[in-house]
Structure formats: C-alpha cells, structure tokens
C-alpha cells in the first residue's frame, strides 16, 4: 500500500513511518519541519518539505490512505496562544480532508489525544466518557474528531481517531526530541545525563497514593502497531474512536524512581506547584483497541519503556 504520513519528521510520525516501511508499504512523509527534524524521517521514505495546508499539491489517487500526525501539541503554549492551535490543527486538517476528498483517498488514521476528555469522570477512561477538554490543544483535537465524524458520514471516509495517553520510549533511531521538552520521561533522563540539576515534581498533594499525578505510559512502538491495525480495521462511513494506553497508571514519583533504577544515576527532585490543567489520574481503558483492532501492547513494562528512551537519549548526547 502507498501512504502519506503527515508530521512524519516528528516523534510519533517517524516511528509509525518506520513500521509502515518495515511492513513493506510505500511511504511519503509531508512535514514542514516546524517542530520535526529532517534526519528523523526514516530511510526509505520519500520526503516532501511542505505544509499539510498544501496537501492538495501532493495527494493523488495513487495513495491508499493518510496517517495524520502534523499538529502543534504543547498544552501550555495552547493556553497562551490558542489561535496558533486552531489555525494549524483545525485549519490544517480541514485542508487535508478536502484534498483527500478531491483526490479520492478514502482512508485516514488521525492522532487524537486523551486531552480531549479533560478531567476524567471515572477511571479507566472509556471512549464514551464525556469530552470536556481543559486546553485549546485538547479542544482543537476534539474539533478535528468531530470534523472527521462528519466527513465519514457525509462522504464515506473510513477513519480512526486514536486517542493516545502518554507516549514514551523510542524505536531504533526514532525518539522523543521536542524543543523545548515538556514531557516527564525525557526531562528526567536529561537530569540523569547531567544536563539538568533536578526534576520538578508538579504537585505532591493530589488524591493519589503518593500525592503525585498518575499517567498511563505507552511504548511508542506499541502505539505504532495500533496505527497499522487501525488502517486495516476501518470501513467506509465509519469513524472509529479508540483509546491507546496500557490500562496501568504510574505516578510521577514512580517514573523518577524507575529512571534512577534503569540509569543508575541519582536524580534529585524538587517539589513544585501543580501545573495548571493537569488531571490527577489519566488511565486508559484499552478494551476498544483490543476488541476492534485486536491490539495487545507487547511492551507495557515501565522499566523497558524508560530503558529504550534512555538508550535514545544517550545516543543523542554522544552524537552532539
Ligand atoms: N507525544 C505525545 O505524548 C502525544 C500524545 C497525544 C497525542 N499526540 C499527537 O500525536 C501527534 C504527533 O505528536 P509528536 O509528539 O510526534 O509531535 P512532534 O512535534 O514531534 O511531531 C509533529 C510533526 O508535525 C509537523 N507539523 C506540524 N504542523 C505541520 C503542518 N502544518 N504541516 C506539516 N507538518 C507539520 C512538525 O514539524 C513535526 O514534525 C500530534 O498530532 C500530537 O498532537 C502526541
Ligand atoms: O517536569 C515535569 C514534567 C511533567 N510532570 C508531570 O508528569 C506528568 C506527565 O506529564 P507530561 O509528560 O507533560 O504529559 P501530560 O501532561 O500527561 O500530557 C501528555 O499526555 C496526554 C495524554 O495523557 C496527551 O494528551 C498530551 O499530548 C501529552 O503531552 C504530569 O502529571 C505532569 O504534571 C512533572 O511533574 N514534572
């Protein structure tokens, strides 16, 4: 099959592109390098430097489907600069859907997020739970989910929105390198590498066993496998919405302790104020992914996820 991967120079998109290539598919990456890196695009993929807003220039009927990762995804930035998120995430996807319609490309897998739910009403979170995003980032992703539902119903698109919980780990040369970095695991690894003095724990007074926030960390390679399954599972006119997580929660302190064990380095921590908009607990129900996609994560162990991220971080540091 021939696929367009938007945002394939970024963290998740590059890992999914690598999996598609390994499965024997033909891959074109469309990325404007706004937050991604040219060298992140896996060898074997064709690369177009360009915006998803201009997808019409690049899509034609020879494509079997699109995997859409291109977006801005900093929750904090979206609060201070919401227009940036509406323009790129919603505007970009609107242009992409029109280009797909015009070209007759009728399969789509979209990167949605647990941030569409906001503060969960129960744990684990299921796809039928209320959606009440607490940031413009989450709201922009939810708006796109609604757009895709309409497109599927009205124009027969076969689509899946995969709602990722906390993506972590690395796959070969593809790993997490956001700039600035805001995610917990890469930040704690920077402390272990000596690049930061300590890790700030954003709040230790949450209603959780050790007072710190609990999250569901999913290995990026397990996540990638779900994309390939979703592309095959969807049917015309259907918009499948599916959470992706392991169904296990780990606290911020458990993550920090795991980094100490895996790396053998001391990691000083400093308790800081809560970060605005952080729910206490975010854990996915993976029942839909199991039932609809036949998906089963094969790397749910937190130490293994951290070990892969650590190897990637060390290689990057050595290559600087
Ligand atoms: N990383 C996570 O924990 C996580 C969790 C939930 C959802 N997501 C979603 O997954 C997707 C990928 O996230 P990531 O962590 O890999 O982010 P990333 O920033 O590493 O990758 C996004 C890529 O999209 C590109 N891009 C952005 N806007 C573009 C545009 N208009 N045209 C072309 N390219 C554009 C960037 O250059 C970058 O390469 C995003 O849609 C994000 O919202 C990520
Ligand atoms: O220096 C830090 C960074 C983070 N945290 C905490 O660590 C947890 C995880 O934070 P982070 O890695 O930033 O991920 P989330 O804020 O949980 O958000 C991620 O996971 C969401 C789904 O759960 C997705 O929607 C988002 O796109 C993705 O960034 C949170 O409790 C943070 O408060 C700290 O204590 N210190």
Q: Three-class SS string for 266-303?
A: CCCEEEECCCCCCCCEECECCHHHHHHHCCCCCCCCHH
The per-residue pLDDT for range 80-122, each reduced to its tens digit, is 999 999 999 999 999 999 999 999 999 999 999 999 999 899 9
13 C-alpha to ligand 1 centroid (Å):
7
Indicate the DSSP class of residue 115: G
What number is the average pLDDT over the span 212-235? 98
Residues with CB under 6 A from ligand 2: 73, 75, 113-115, 165-166, 182-184, 187, 199-202, 213, 215, 252, 275, 278, 282
Best substitution site from 12, 252, 270, 302 to test ligand 2's pocket, by max atoms within 8 Å of Cβ?
Answer: 252
Q: Are 260 and 272 in contact (CB under 8 A)?
A: no
Global pTM reads: 0.97
Q: Please report, for residues 81, 148, 170, 258, 315, the alpha-carbon distance to residue 166 in angstroms, rounded to integers and kept in the order given.
A: 23, 23, 13, 16, 23
Closest C-alpha to ligand 1, atom 29: 70
Closest C-alpha to ligand 2, atom 29: 183
Which member of 11, 63, 137, 217 is catalytic?
Answer: 137
Report ipTM (2 d.p.): 0.97
Q: Can 137 be counted among the known catalytic residues?
A: yes
d(CA 167, CA 217): 6
Quickly count: other Cβ atoms within 10 Å of residue 263's Cβ: 19
The per-residue pLDDT for range 152-210, each reduced to its tens digit, is 999 999 999 999 999 999 999 899 988 888 899 999 999 999 999 999 999 999 999 99
């Amino acid at each position: 099959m021939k696929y367009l991967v938007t945002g394939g120079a970024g963290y998740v998109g590059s890992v999914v592109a690598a999996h598609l290539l390994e499965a024997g598919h033909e891959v074109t990456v469309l990325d404007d390098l706004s937050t991604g890196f040219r060298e992140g695009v896996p060898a074997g993929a064709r690369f177009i430097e360009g915006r998803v807003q201009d997808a019409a220039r690049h899509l034609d009927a020879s494509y079997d489907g699109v995997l859409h990762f291109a977006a801005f995804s900093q929750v904090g930035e979206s609060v201070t600069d919401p227009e940036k998120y509406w323009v790129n995430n919603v505007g970009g996807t609107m242009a992409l859907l029109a280009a797909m319609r015009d070209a007759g490309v009728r399969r789509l897998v979209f990167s949605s997020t647990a941030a569409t739910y906001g503060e969960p009403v129960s744990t684990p979170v299921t796809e039928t739970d209320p959606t009440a995003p607490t940031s413009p980032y989450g709201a922009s992703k939810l708006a796109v989910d609604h757009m895709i539902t309409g497109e599927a119903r009205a124009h027969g698109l076969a689509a899946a929105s995969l709602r990722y919980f906390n993506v972590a780990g690395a796959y070969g040369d593809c790993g997490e390198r956001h700039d600035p970095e805001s995610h917990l695991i890469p930040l704690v690894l920077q402390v272990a590498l000596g690049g930061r003095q300590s890790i700030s724990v954003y709040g230790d007074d949450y209603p959780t066993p050790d007072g710190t926030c609990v999250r569901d960390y999913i290995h990026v390679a397990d996540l990638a496998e779900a994309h390939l399954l979703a592309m095959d599972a969807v049917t015309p006119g259907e918009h499948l919405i599916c959470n992706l997580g392991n169904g296990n929660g780990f606290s911020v302190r458990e993550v920090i302790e795991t980094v100490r064990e895996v790396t053998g380095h001391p990691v000083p921590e400093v308790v800081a104020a809560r970060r605005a908009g952080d729910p206490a607990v975010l854990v996915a129900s993976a029942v839909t992914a199991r039932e609809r996609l036949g998906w089963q994560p094969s790397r749910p162990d937190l130490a293994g996820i951290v070990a892969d991220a650590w190897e990637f971080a060390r290689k990057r540091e050595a290559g600087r």
